């Protein structure tokens, strides 16, 4: 899985090592961190593009993110696509949670799913929430899910 910075610069070491050294560096600078992970997708013809982000939020000092992009030609319903987004976020969160725990960094998993039943994505809300919470992660949906609905959305557009 290849990751890059928002600038487009590739991350040349395993993401786990990059996250660990990033947290150590930020702590040396005196920053308190929270990590938010989210995924968004966009259907473009027969292809669905996904962007997963790891957002580092510095308390009162902004933030930055790492990005992974992938695509599939699998045809999916809206619910399947929302759950595919959640699955990508959970896989990323799960791979990082031991490192984040070691540094005592709070973690949230953000789902690009609307809590308003008037929106199609709402069909996946209960399944996504159950999936994320059952894995032991903090769950956020729209409008609080900025990692997926704002950060990942910028990359996949």
Question: What pLDDT, in 10s, does the model give residues 20-66?
Answer: 999 999 999 999 999 999 999 999 999 999 999 999 999 999 999 99
pTM given for the model: 0.94
- The answer to whether the CB of 71 falls within 8 A of the CB of 49 is yes
- The answer to whether the CB of 88 falls within 8 A of the CB of 50 is yes
**What are the pLDDT digits (tens) for 104-125?**
999 999 999 999 989 998 899 9
The bridge status of strand 47-58 relative to strand 63-72 is antiparallel
- CA–CA separation, 15 vs 2, rounded Å? 8
- CA–CA separation, 123 vs 1, rounded Å? 29
* Domains of the chain from N-terminus onward: 4-156 (3.30.420)
46 backbone dihedrals φ, ψ, rounded to 5°: -90, 0
């Amino acid at each position: 899985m290849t990751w890059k910075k928002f600038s487009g610069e590739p991350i040349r070491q395993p993401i786990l090592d990059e996250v660990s050294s990033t947290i150590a560096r930020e702590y040396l600078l005196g920053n308190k961190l929270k990590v938010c992970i989210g995924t968004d997708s966009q259907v473009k013809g027969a292809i669905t593009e996904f962007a997963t982000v790891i957002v580092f939020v510095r308390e009162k000092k902004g933030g930055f993110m790492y990005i992974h992009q992938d695509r599939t030609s699998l045809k999916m319903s809206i619910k399947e696509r929302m759950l595919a987004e959640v699955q990508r976020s959970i896989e990323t969160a799960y791979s990082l949670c031991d490192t984040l725990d070691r540094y005592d960094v709070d973690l949230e998993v953000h789902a690009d799913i609307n809590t308003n039943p008037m929106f199609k994505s709402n069909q996946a809300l209960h399944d996504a929430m159950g999936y994320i919470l059952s894995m032991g992660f903090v769950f956020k949906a729209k409008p609080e899910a900025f990692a997926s609905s704002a950060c990942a959305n910028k990359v996949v557009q």
